Structure 1
């Protein structure tokens, strides 16, 4: 099994989790996968605050900062099938 296939399988297993736990686990899986490619993303923004405050703040998205953004973007959009959306 390739690393990307393993990641896809792990991501699929998250669907059974409650949304908050799913977001934390998703961020962890992406961080671990990208670190294996020498890219170390950091969770910032609302999800970081939610973790820090033990869920006293809630968010609906995950914000990362990272070098190697092109590889991160390729992983999400081309390999995992996520699509870009905009807020209106």
Structure 2
């Protein structure tokens, strides 16, 4: 997702490296999926690319709702409990 946004906005890899404080070679590895994207840095990327964090992560409510609806009753309960746990951690 990052490479698409970067290219759409005509931001060079060097410019994104400066904006995020992350080495150009590391960014290249994220884009080529040779290295796992660091979720703890998503806000830095969102700010540098002027995008919403949810968009960078590829999240949208209709997709999450669709996934939730595919779960059986027990797993829907587990999903709800896990989401509550994440919200509590966040606060």
Relative to the length of structure 2, the TM-score reads 0.28
Greater strand share, 1 or 2?
Answer: 1
Greater helix share, 1 or 2?
Answer: 2
Greater gyration radius: 2
